[in-house]
Structure 1
Amino acid sequence: MSGSPFLMIGLTAGGQHSEPLTAQLDEDQVDTLHFFVGRGNRLASGGKAMAQFVSKGHDYFACLSGTISISNDPAMIDKLWSKQVEAWFPGGKSDPDLALLKFDIESAELWEADMSLAGKLKMIFGGRIDPEDEGSHAVVRTTAPD
């Protein structure tokens, strides 16, 4: 995700649509994504959420399920702050509209579209794609300790 940290994310309750956000990645928290948003953002109310990710090369896909909450931990804000974030919040880290969301990932489905050469040729010439020609798929649960 570091090469293209953009996701579509939305709360699962209430029928609201997902929205694009830039994930703030913390190598020390691999099961958690952070997002800087305005306090009025529809995700700020928190709750169960789903996020969808497509890699820049369209060869890796993920659907993430978890829970969103407001963190506003000053140490985490300092750690994740950047010039790109500052562009959205002219008041800086103490901007009254600033909210740091925490998305704790509980499970994920991952797809890697690394099709075999035989599979690619079958696609070009209209052949049937066999399972051994496809990429890989995995279901992952959180690695966070219980």
Structure 2
Amino acid sequence: MQAKQEEDAAVRERMWKEMGKSPFVMIGLVGSHQHSEPMTAQLDKDANSEFWFYCNKDNRIAKGGEAMAQFVSKGHDIFACIHGTLTQETRPEIFDKYWSNATEAWFEGGKQDPNVMMLRFELTDAEIWEGDQSVGGLFKMLTGQTIKPDEAGKHAEVAL
């Protein structure tokens, strides 16, 4: 049990590290029957159970609520499906902390744009897959050999 918890924690840490390199996710509201959309997560190295998004008040996720975000690392070796709740972020210090020139490019009126808002994604749980790109695994794929589940990489179900 302890070994599994440590392994899950390591997979979770790897997911956060990879998200830091490429903070792009697909996110959608649960039960809305609208497609997920790409968003840039604003990450904080000290916050391991939440991240933020800037969006327009008329964006499909702006109303908040239960949500799912999907993440794939640049190297395609970490895959995550993250469940949580979106709520409007009203703290001005958080809004200002993550604002950047790249963010400003999306809002005609900049920080003062009356249509800009910030959402906080509070993570509940996630499933994370860490692919095994070992030489043996790649050889089996290329030659059509069966890859056994224990050779496919690590899988973690984590409560956040």
Same fold (TM over 0.5): yes
The residue aligned with 2:65 is: 47
SS in 2 for 1:132: helix
**Offset from partner CA, 1:45-92 (integer Å, 9 cap, x none):** 111000000011111110000000111321001110111001112322
**1:20 partner letter:** P
CA contact (8 A) 1:119 1:130 kept: no
Among 85, 108, 117, the alignment partner of 1:90 is: 108
Q: Please list, as runs of the form range in 1=range in 2, the aligned pairs for 1:48-63 lying within 5 A after superposition.
A: 48-63=66-81
TM-score, normalised via structure 2 length: 0.84
Check the 8 A contact 2:50/2:120 in 1, yes or no.
yes
Structure 2 distance, partners of 1:99, 1:81, is: 11
Q: Give unpaired runs (5+ residues) of structure 1.
A: none
* Preserved CA contact (<8 Å) 2:25 2:69: yes
Instruction: Indicate yes or no: 2:155 matched with 1:137.
Output: yes
Aligned to 1:18: 36
1:12-68, Cα deviation, whole Å (9 max, x unpaired): 122111000000111222111100000111111111000000011111110000000
Tell me the secondary structure at the aligned position of residue 38 of structure 2: strand
Render the CA deviation track for 1:104-144: whole Å, top value 9, x for unaligned: 000000011124322221111111111232111000101xx
Superposition pairs of residues 117-128 of structure 1, within 5 angstroms: 117-128=135-146
Q: 1:35, 1:49 → 2: CA distance? A: 13
Q: Does 1:8 align with 2:22?
A: no
The answer to whether the 8 Å contact 1:119/1:129 transfers is yes
Give secondary structure in 1 for the equivalent of 2:58. coil
Are residues 1:70 and 2:110 paired? no
Q: May I ask how many residue pairs the two structures share in their alignment?
A: 142
Q: Which contiguous aligned blocks of 4+ residues in structure 1 show a shift greater than 3 angstroms?
A: none
